[in-house]
Structure 1
Amino acid sequence: MASNSRHSRTPNTGLANLLDQAKWSRSQFAQIVNRIGAEAGLELRYDQSAVSHWVAGTMPKEQVRPLIVEAFSRKLGRPVTHAEAGLPVVSSAYTSTLTSLTSGSEGTPGTPGALGPSAPPGSSGVNTLEELVDMGRADMDPSRRNVIAAGLFSAAIVVPLFPDLAQAADRNAPPAGKRTVRIGAPQVQAVRTMTDRIADILDELGGGHARPMAAAFLVNTVMPWLKAEAPEAVRKDMLSAASDLVYLTGWMAMYERAHGLGQQYYLRALELAGAAEDHVTYCRTLRGMSLQASNLGYGKRALELADSAAEASPKAGPRLRAFLSGQQAHSAAMVGDRRQAFARLRETETALTKADNRRESVGGYDHTAYLFHMSHVLYEFKDLPGSITALQQSLRTQAKNERQGRVHFLAVLAQRQLELGHLEAACVSWWQFLDDYEHVSSARGDEHFETMRRRLKPYVKTWAVRKLRPKIDEVAALKG
């Protein structure tokens, strides 16, 4: 192949760097790869010269690449990905780490990164966990976040069906092997507790602070636990807890206007939920994808996703039912379906009357959210005064610690008040917006701030805007 010719090889600096970090000689590394290969049923006879060829740029055989990644992961005590090792992801199910997590019993755990059976026809062979590690590492690195955030949102992306995800997880049972870490219910609870805490930080301080924390926890703690030995029930619970965390991280990326990245997190959350056989998290993530589509103006796609989420969750409790039908109402309004939009709003209100008062950090829904959806529906049908009233009612019921949400609600309220011609009322709302915005790190908040300054330019000589101007300048200086 041309890519392996003497003249076109590019030295594999990633592999060389990992060898330095592991403090392995090339001969030692060859022996370790041979040993891990034996665990997977392969008879390998690599030596120092083979490793030298790899470092020089020769590509290892496809079935050997996962062994290389696994060797470094074990030695360094952290997830190592194909990309970090300078290797392309294997196109078949050889690296289906997700499959190795969800199959097998406690007595015959699969080996992380070990070889599995060939991918079934039509399988993409996507390695969910490796992709999450690469995404998470970039997300927690300020110098790389702008690069990964530049990915484009796709309105036509194929969304995997829940039964297909579950069947794909069941299809591929990995060979027996050894694992060096064992997890139980306490580790699952730790992931859920951290997810709750990150959601609280998101509410109070914004996604700019919370998302790097989520990414770091995902990469450094959750990924190794997902590859650990565990009883089947614990393994499924850990996949479910991880799916919730990935869903939340995707929601934050979406909220921070990194829509391509948010969509990728959502897709990975779907895959984890399917592997965990967790219908609720799968449906909740579909609903998040609908919200993202609606934020970008794709009304038809938003409705398709919202309807799919509701249809996939026939046994949803009242709060989840409200969570799903509220988004259906907004999406139906976007496509001009007045009858369906208001019918869904009635369903949402009825479901909320049957729900308990528990506050859920991920996928929660309450009267505040219902009123916000009502405001959206009314606005889509040109009832601007009714939309403003619903927003004001929503703000009155909002919890005091939900500062990021209040920043968004107040900015939308002010814009609609100005649209109605109520400049002074809009300035009052923008003053309140600034009070909260100065405490929050949020790309959406930044966008609202710039929208406010742009929309107030024609009114700079009015008394209301002159009064607001010092506050705007103060916050602008604070934000830098």
Structure 2
Amino acid sequence: MAKRQPNPSLARLLTEGQFTQGAFARAVNVVGTEYGRPTGYSQPNVSQWLAGTEPEAPARAAILEALTRRLGRLVTHTEAGFPPPADQPTTPTGTVEGLIELGRQDMDPSRRSVLGASLFAVAMNVPGWQDVLARAESIQRGVTIRIGMPEVASVIAMTEELSGIDDKFGGRAARPMAASYLVNQVGPYLRAEAPEAVRKAMMSAASDLCYLTGYMAVDEGLHGLAQRYYVKALELAGIADDHLTYCTTLRGMSVQAVDLGHGRRALHLADAASAASPVAGPRMRAFLAGQQAHSAAQIGDTATAMRLIGEAERAMDRAESESKAFGSYDPSSLNYHIGQVRYELGHLTGAVESLELSDKLRNDVYRRTRVRYGALLAEWQLKAGKTDHAWATWHAVLDAMPCR
């Protein structure tokens, strides 16, 4: 690490955030652990950074995210007195070009370690509905090929196939295929000549695929990468005038945030998803309210959490009386959210009961979900003193896990 002059910019940010050097080191360590690179920084490391020792690139990224979380605004390399990262890719201005560039980086083995190290950013700018509508004018249609609804149908079918692989084997198995398909097939379709209705339908299909790719990246713990796919999904949904995928993506971003412990950000995103949703039927209302309730519970807002989970239960009752839809928000999903609300509010026994019911109601096709939430159930059972149940649940999880 190269020596340089003292860093007054970093010192000002620590003062603004009311960080002691020891507390700041611990905050940086928390971020490092969150994205899979645990660190053991302490007060002397921070003292060295303030004196002019330049941290390595992964440490700089963790430092900026720790400051961003404390200050509630985006902190840049320049503001913190650091040089911009030399390997930061140039982001194309257009939505389609940006998506293709992201997919290419994701496909490139030499870039995957860089993309995988990108952090979940609490202060990431999320484009609003009106913002993404304005970007529609920047999409340039190509003239080399012409597409129709059969090409749209092929993208929808491929997304369904990739989603099925994810359900059975997890995101790691399907995401490389999704990135390749986005670049080599969907990218040219998005730039092709097409009637307006076909162009919007293709944008909508591409948005859904971007959302799925981001969801699979979350499954791998690649949270910064997932956010970039999610933002592309929002932009494409806006261009396509697709409120459903737009609000579903916002909800997915809320799920990511609450799972990482960022309750306030999660609630903000869940509320935005609810506000952006089209006229919602009862199943959609349950889908959104359940996530809002989990987020509210995580920040200790008991009244809001209980009101919203009650709303989700009533909406699910209406939805189930109308039709039992496979492959969407169902009683198993609702009981998962009830369990999370109970857990966040300190009701461990009730939380375990809800998660056990969720597991019992879950369709067997969702092996990935069974593995993930089964592991969580075993952890809660152990905390509740149900040791034998926990062991049995862990054995079921291990039996369901695909070999890798």
Matches within 5 A, 1:112-151: 126-151=93-118
**What's the offset of the Cα at 1:220?**
1.1
Selected match of 1:318 from 270, 279, 282: 282
- Does the aligned pair in 2 maintain the 1:243–1:273 contact within 8 Å? yes
Selected match of 1:263 from 227, 231, 246: 227
Task: Name the counterpart of 1:167.
Answer: 134
Deviations 1:423-468 (A, max 9, x none): 222111111111012x16xxxxxxxxxxxxxxxxxxxxxxxxxxxx
**What's the offset of the Cα at 1:134?**
2.4
Task: Name the counterpart of 2:325.
Answer: 358
What CA RMSD, in Å, does the superposition of the two structures yield over aligned residues? 1.9
Task: Name the counterpart of 2:40.
Answer: none
Matched, 1:288 2:255: no
Task: Name the counterpart of 2:396.
Answer: 432
Deviations 1:314-359 (A, max 9, x none): 5122222221111001001011111111211122122223333233
- Does the aligned pair in 2 maintain the 1:330–1:373 contact within 8 Å? yes
Selected match of 1:222 from 186, 189, 199: 186
**What's the offset of the Cα at 1:278?**
0.9
**What's the offset of the Cα at 1:379?**
0.3
Higher Rg of the two aligned structures: 1
- Does the aligned pair in 1 maintain the 2:172–2:219 contact within 8 Å? no
- Give, in whole Å, the separation in 1 of the partners of 2:385 and 2:259: 25
Q: Match of 2:121, SS?
A: coil
Task: Name the counterpart of 1:194.
Answer: 158
Compared with structure 1, are the counterparts of its residues 199 and 87 closer, same or farther at alpha carbon in structure 2 (3 Å cutoff)? closer
Q: Report the count of equivalent residues.
A: 314
Matches within 5 A, 1:388-399: 388-399=352-363
Give, as a single letter, the amino acid of the residue that structure 2 aligns with 1:275.
I
Task: Name the counterpart of 2:347.
Answer: 383
**What's the offset of the Cα at 1:143?**
4.7
What's the TM-score once normalised by structure 2's chain length?
0.74
Deviations 1:168-214 (A, max 9, x none): 324x586xx86121111111111111111111110111111111111
Task: Name the counterpart of 1:419.
Answer: 383
- Give, in whole Å, the separation in 2 of the partners of 1:298 and 1:227: 37
Task: Name the counterpart of 2:85.
Answer: none
Deviations 1:358-382 (A, max 9, x none): 334xxx3111110101110000111
Deviations 1:238-277 (A, max 9, x none): 0001000000100111121100000010111110011111
What's the TM-score once normalised by structure 1's chain length?
0.63
- Give, in whole Å, the separation in 2 of the partners of 1:242 and 1:146: 25
- Give, in whole Å, the separation in 2 of the partners of 1:186 and 1:259: 33
**What's the offset of the Cα at 1:88?**
5.0
Compared with structure 1, are the counterparts of its residues 89 and 327 closer, same or farther at alpha carbon in structure 2 (3 Å cutoff)? closer
Task: Name the counterpart of 1:181.
Answer: 145
Q: Match of 1:223, SS?
A: helix
Selected match of 1:339 from 277, 297, 303: 303
Q: Match of 1:301, SS?
A: helix
Task: Name the counterpart of 2:125.
Answer: 158
Deviations 1:358-408 (A, max 9, x none): 334xxx311111010111000011111111111111111111121110011
Compared with structure 1, are the counterparts of its residues 88 and 247 closer, same or farther at alpha carbon in structure 2 (3 Å cutoff)? closer
Compared with structure 1, are the counterparts of its residues 264 and 280 closer, same or farther at alpha carbon in structure 2 (3 Å cutoff)? same
Q: Match of 2:98, SS?
A: helix
- Give, in whole Å, the separation in 2 of the partners of 1:203 and 1:143: 28
**What's the offset of the Cα at 1:128?**
2.1
- Give, in whole Å, the separation in 1 of the partners of 2:91 and 2:295: 37
- Give, in whole Å, the separation in 1 of the partners of 2:142 and 2:232: 26
Compared with structure 1, are the counterparts of its residues 393 and 340 closer, same or farther at alpha carbon in structure 2 (3 Å cutoff)? same
- Does the aligned pair in 2 maintain the 1:184–1:234 contact within 8 Å? yes
Deviations 1:30-51 (A, max 9, x none): xxxxxxxxxxxxxxxxxxxxxx
Give, as a single letter, the amino acid of the residue that structure 2 aligns with 1:135.
L
Selected match of 2:367 from 398, 403, 406: 403
Query: Which shifted more, 306-315 or 226-235?
Result: 306-315
- Give, in whole Å, the separation in 2 of the partners of 1:219 and 1:173: 16
- Does the aligned pair in 2 maintain the 1:280–1:316 contact within 8 Å? no
- Does the aligned pair in 1 maintain the 2:286–2:312 contact within 8 Å? yes
Identity fraction in percent: 49
- Does the aligned pair in 1 maintain the 2:378–2:394 contact within 8 Å? yes
